[in-house]
Chain A
Amino acid sequence: MEGAPPTLVWGTNISVQDVNQAVQRFLRNYREKPTDQEGKYIQLLEQVMEMEEDSLNVNARNILEYDEDLYVKMVRYPLEVLAIFDIVLMDMAVRLRPLWEKHIQVRIFNLKDTVNMRDLNPSDIEKMVSVKGMIIRCSSIIPEIKESFFRCLVCGYSPPPSGVDRGQVEEPTRCGRPECAALNSMALIHNRCRFADKQIVRLQETPDAIPEGETPHTVSLLMHDRLVDAAKPGDRVEITGVFRAMSVRVGPTQRTLKSLFKTYIDCLHLKKSDKGRLQAEDPLERDIQSDNYASFHEGDISPLEQEEQIQKLKALSKLPDIYERLTRSLAPSIWELEDIKKGLLCQLFGGTAKKLKSGASFRGDMNVLMVGDPGTSKSQLLQYVHKLAPRGIYTSGRGSSAVGLTAYVTKDPETGETVLESGALVLSDRGICCIDEFDKMSDNARSMLHEVMEQQTVSVAKSGIIATLNARTSVLACANPSGSRYNPRMSVIDNIQLPPTLLSRFDLIYLVLDKPDEQTDRRLARHLVALHYENPEVQSQQSLDLPTLTAYVTYARQHIHPKLSDEAAEDLISGYVAMRRKGNFPGSSKKVITATPRQLESLIRISEALARIRYSDVVERCDAAEALRLLEVALQQSATDHSTGTIDMDLITTGVSASERTRRASLVMAVRNLISEKMQAGGSTMRLMQLLEELRKESSSELSLQDLRTALTSLASEGVISFQGDGIRRL
């Protein structure tokens, strides 16, 4: 040791002066971009002083970037380094404004690593940590004495207020005035003491951080001043603070300690997780973020890795078969139902919400209803989407009274305050609310859905409180047909038995019908056997795993906002007009689900979602075509006999493989060509068998009577021919 020994942080070899200089350098010189005129924190400090605030937020990543050594010291010895930070800050403040007196506190946030709550261990004590979790309880505000003020009861003398350390008030034993010096005469004057707010908050692990088969861990947080009441129970937060263990004396007077410690985190900074980390970096993204999009799930990866992951997702989106691949990855354990899965995929991605200058807004969320026979794995699909959706809520229509499908008002048993407890729909704001057994839901609860599904809000008027809560949620519902099994002899509407007002709010209505087909049976059989005997052959099909899928969806929802191209718009319009015309088929009036302007909106949403799936910023013609197809398939439009509203079971296209579809389409083409060749409009009828013969002559492939009937029916629905019994007539 030479010269004046540097002051060291107790128990270490860290020099206070060194740290002091490092902090000064950092605060003065750190610039986000080298081109910036003034240091970032100088600017921020000026802002803080302008607003008369009492704390300055410092991004720990900036420190890491600027001076790694300082960062390491700060994390390991936060108490000492933060004290130095505060001193330096005061200096700077006084230099900026000589009369400045207020204390400005440093709040560090955004540490490099977030610790898992259950990984905290004794070696983290007295270190700076960052933990994510959900707040479960908040204590009432505790006034903590900061400065004590005494007055002598004998002579009235009061010494200047003295600071209080950790709640221990040092009561002077005798009066400080030499003339008086009365023993035990000093009394604490409460009104003139200075108090600070304090609050104890309990943080619990969020479900995604809990390993399977464990219960969630909790940790106590100590909040001071501004942080008090900054978060409410139920909030997901990321906090930065100092992990501390407190030894407890056995009794107030004894010298022995309890062998158990109480641990807590002295909270420095609190960030609600909903506003993702990206916000701090990129002001452009702020708008999207503040709109409360489910944030990109980052876990504890650094921006570099994050960038890498985004690149990976983008590479995925470039794959030509990404649409099919995603479809496959959705609920791989459920067989077939490909078109339904595609619809659900669109729902997950969602369309873009639009807000017009006039104030009118259009929802981007899609609602999907599945109606179908029991045992067609509807519930399983629901369960799966619920797991995948950013904020999925699963509820059964039957138990909705217990689950609380909407918000309701309760009295807090402790405080007697009237509280709004939000139900499933509000909880799934920006997510997907899955409702099973939709048909069993009481009319009352269902009527609430009207508002939710179009205006995306829930109004509650109870106990004198009228509140409108946001419920920007997609609804995924499934129901059984009215007769519990689909009755082919009844019309679609009669089978679904839901009020048309509600039906029209669903973008996609799927009829999930069971239909015989040997090909699908075979695949089903193979699938099931493999499921029971873990055959690797089938599982090797290319699909994305769940985390990748979630990341893919989340990124798309956040960053891709496709716009309709003119050609796509044209296509959608003509498709819509055609659909409208079909609905107006004479005599069909109330028997089929007719297209309304809502369907046009649906089409736009679906095509936007399809573009999103490709990470494309423009809705192309192919998207429009697929959207039209999806809508059509969903309603089994092509299979519906529009005059009676019933469905021809042979014509159902759900579950029909793509190759089969093209085969059918080409058959229809062939028949159409043949008819236009051989027959004259309004001419004589042609026998069915005759036509079959002709066709068989032309085509080499096998052709059954059934196939022909199918083709003719679809031609009939287009209005090209009329088809009665055995005779065909061209119109």
Chain B
Amino acid sequence: MVGKAYDCVLNPLGAVRFLFDKEVGSGPIDAHGRDWGVHGLFTRTLFEDGGLSQVPEINSVPLHSIPANSLVRFRGMVQDMFNSEYYIGAYKDGDAWRTTKYSDVAAVPSCSESSMKIWERRPLYCVPVPGENLWVKDAFTPLDAQLPHSPTCSDPITNRKRSRPEEEMDAEDTEMITDVTETAPDNKRSCEGADLNLETKNCHDDPCNLNMPLGEKKLLPCLVKVYDGLDADLKLNDVVEFIGVLTFDPELTVHPGTVGESVDCIHGSFLDEDISAQLPASRVPRLHSILHRKLSSDQLFQAMPMNTLGQLYPDALSRSSFEELRSSLVARFTEVLGGDGLAAEYLLLHLLSRVHARVEPMAVGKLSLNIVEPRPMKDGSTSFIQMVSHTISTLLPRSHLMSLSLEFLNEKLIAPKKNYSSNRLMTGDLQLADGTHLMLDETVLRSGQLNDIGLQNVHFLKNMMEWQKVEYDFEFYKMEMSTDVAVLVLSAARSRLFPSDVVLPLRPTRGFSSDFPVENLWRWRIYLAAARAGDHTIDPTIQKVLEEELVSARQEDRSLGPEVFHRWLTLARLLSLSYGESTLSLERWNMVREMERRLTERLRVC
């Protein structure tokens, strides 16, 4: 053959085997199955030679349209990390060594120990990024695969209208699926054993076992297997793009049912860590990751295909456009918030906040905000909440609106919990990737009885707001996982249940406006991400001034405690960042003091 003997995208395994054969030819086989040049090859082809755009995304492209064993991409959050899997990585077939790396081989011929090598890989359970907004999804979808509707939303009302038929379609879809599964056994009536197996399997298939975050229904989770210890830099709740081989081996999922009552059965229930057995391949595709890259919220834009962004990126980062974008965005927020400029400023700073340091047990840099809108019922305040949530969802990559009704709080735990019988971490709504925005709608909370679960949920939310930590329940002990989730509470009166860093009574002067100009959207998104990721320092002279200011403020007003100072310092930092400045100036500090003064005045009137 002329040129390459393989095609990296269509036949990645061919490439792997080709390199493997070369490696075997050059010397004795490695006991640990270290990389034999596969990473290098794929990095070159995908990132340097621009092969990446040809790799389909299984987030958006229907699975059945992709042939098995081809190279695909998957963008998701690491939701659960399993034990390492030991597999027969290479075995001697006759005289030649064969490798099963990056593939799901159900079985290999029985052979002696000397003619096979045991290697390890790490399975990770990944789910679609919780709360990821539509525009991010669209941006990652290649144009030809995009659904006919326009990617950017223009109006929450039409948006909702449009989403209706989709939901209906969804319902139909799932109905059809259940139809299929119901009729399937009919075809096989002949063999009763298989029938039984299928039925018992169906019970296990219920969505909760798939552990989808935030009630996600449309998208698929993915079982990713990571090789060569590349999982070392991956942590729980990281958002990662995996590039690897999509495999589908139906045999693997059938086995557990057919093993029957051999002695292994008891072993099976306890020893078997083969997670694949629990997850039907039809619902959870397998991906053998060759390369992966983390997508934290500011890296997200770099990872997006160029066609959506064009030359926007460098432009938005220049200093002058920073200020211009800032003022236009604040003007926009003012519109949304009914003409309340102060609230718009606070909202902007809130959206920029992130945990930039941890001084145990404190999370420095977080700024939770409580917007108080005392007229929930007049002129349909649900639309106000919808509007804020919509505004945020069109600007930030990941956001989630949680309606804190009694039923919701009492229904199920929102913090993850380990289930030892299935050996999996059952997710909760608070298992969110860093940089996700969480909006709590407290206006729907009616008085009533909170049960045990409700109490714990409130405790979880409070903990998250106060310490940016979520307790994961491992039954024998609890583990605190650090999070970085900005929390915005919307309530009719100052929220006592969820004390925020900033309490902001809204003073609307006109109706809440909802029309959203589209032209600046992308630039705002990039602005927010860039400002949020900015670095910030302080000059020693300014530091002295700040100290003096704090001391004299406290001398004047004894009620100013450390928490107020924390807030001021956080605000000052965020305000500087919002102007694209990397050091704090006195001007910004005075602006913060002025903002705080106006806010205090407002609170006093309340």
Contact = CB atoms under 8 A, between A and B. Distances in A.
A673 B180 CA distance: 100
A399 B86 contact: no
A214 B236 contact: yes
Nearest to A263: B86
A525 B476 contact: no
A33 interface: no
A543 interface: no
B106 A250 contact: yes
A660 B561 CA distance: 22
B5 interface: no
A260 B86 contact: yes
Contacts of B550: 521, 524-525, 528-529
Interface stretch (A81-89, A216-224, A631-639): A216-224
Contact of B364 (A136, A256, A531): A531
Contacts of B120: 121-122
A514 B83 contact: no
Given A256-B108, A521-B551, A533-B543, A261 B118 contact: yes
Contacts of B360: 333, 384, 387
A375 B86 contact: no
Contact of A213 (B109, B235, B357, B362): B235
B267 to A, nearest CB: 7
Interface in B321-343: none
A132 B167 CA distance: 50
A534 interface: yes
Interface in B548-585: 548, 550-551, 554-555, 558, 561-563, 565-566, 569-570, 573
B364 A526 contact: no
Contact of A139 (B106, B259, B266): B266
B253 interface: no
A3 B141 CA distance: 75
Contact of A257 (B110, B551, B555, B561): B110
Contact of B361 (A383, A521, A524): A383
Interface stretch (B184-192, B198-206, B270-278): B270-278
A230 interface: no
A255 interface: yes
Nearest to B114: A11
Interface string B36-73: 00000000000000000000000000000000000000
Contacts of B362: 333, 380, 531
B11 interface: no
Contact of B267 (A249, A261, A262, A522): A262
A242 B389 CA distance: 56
B107 A257 contact: yes
The main secondary structure of chain B at its interface with chain A is mixed
Interface string A235-267: 000000000011111111011111111111000
A195 interface: no
B555 A518 contact: yes
A380 B361 contact: yes
A529 B236 CA distance: 32
A207 B546 contact: no
A234 interface: yes
Given A257-B107, A333-B362, A531-B364, A213 B482 contact: yes
Contacts of B32: 121-123
B50 to A, nearest CB: 33
Given A122-B32, A259-B106, A142 B266 contact: yes
Interface in B119-136: 119-120
A402 interface: yes
Interface string A509-524: 0000010101001101
Interface in A95-149: 118, 120-123, 125, 134, 136-137, 139, 142
A333 B493 CA distance: 33
B88 A375 contact: no
Nearest to B474: A216
Interface string B461-482: 0000001000010111101011
Nearest to A258: B107
A375 B359 contact: no
Given A167-B263, A249-B110, A526 B547 contact: yes
A396 interface: yes
Contacts of B238: 213
Given A136-B420, A214-B81, A215-B425, A259 B267 contact: no
Given A262-B267, A516-B558, A213 B86 contact: no
A259 B569 contact: no
A234 to B, nearest CB: 5
A294 to B, nearest CB: 15
A235 to B, nearest CB: 10
Contacts of B119: 122
A247 B475 CA distance: 31
Given A249-B110, A251-B258, A514-B561, A533 B86 contact: no
B476 A262 contact: no
A204 B569 contact: no
A200 interface: yes
Interface stretch (B14-22, B451-459, B506-514, B521-529): B451-459
A722 interface: no
A587 interface: no
Most chain B beta carbons < 10 A, residue from A258, A528, A532? A532
A202 interface: yes
A256 B476 contact: no
B345 interface: no
A725 B336 CA distance: 62
Interface string A265-283: 0000000000000000000
A220 B108 contact: no
Most chain B beta carbons < 10 A, residue from A136, A206, A251, A533? A533
B107 A259 contact: yes
Contacts of A518: 551, 555
Given A139-B270, A387-B360, A402-B455, A212 B482 contact: yes
Nearest to B260: A252
Contacts of B266: 139, 142, 200
Given A134-B476, A213-B481, A259 B547 contact: no
Contact of A532 (B110, B548, B554, B573): B573
A376 B482 CA distance: 24
A531 B477 CA distance: 31
A215 B420 CA distance: 13
Contacts of A522: 547, 551
A250 B267 contact: no
A256 B110 contact: yes
B452 A402 contact: yes
Contact of A264 (B105, B237, B271, B543): B271
Given A399-B456, A532-B566, A533-B537, 20 more contacts: A118-B84, A122-B32, A122-B86, A134-B476, A139-B266, A204-B476, A214-B235, A216-B474, A247-B88, A255-B109, A259-B105, A262-B267, A333-B361, A384-B360, A518-B555, A525-B548, A531-B357, A531-B362, A532-B538, A532-B573
Interface of A: 118, 120-123, 125, 134, 136-137, 139, 142, 167, 200, 202, 204, 206-207, 210, 212-220, 233-234, 245-252, 254-264, 333, 335, 375-377, 380, 383-384, 387, 396, 398-399, 401-402, 514, 516, 518, 521-522, 524-526, 528-529, 531-535
22 contacts: A122-B31, A122-B120, A134-B476, A139-B269, A200-B267, A212-B235, A212-B482, A213-B236, A213-B238, A214-B235, A215-B472, A245-B86, A250-B106, A257-B88, A259-B88, A259-B106, A262-B274, A264-B271, A333-B360, A521-B551, A529-B538, A532-B365
Interface of B: 31-32, 80-81, 83-88, 100, 105-110, 118-120, 235-238, 255, 258-259, 262-264, 266-267, 269-274, 357, 359-362, 364-365, 418, 420, 423, 425, 452, 455-456, 459, 467, 472, 474-477, 479, 481-482, 536-538, 543, 546-548, 550-551, 554-555, 558, 561-563, 565-566, 569-570, 573
Sorted nearest first, the 6 A-B pairs with minimum C-beta distance are A213-B235, A525-B550, A256-B107, A261-B86, A200-B270, A533-B538
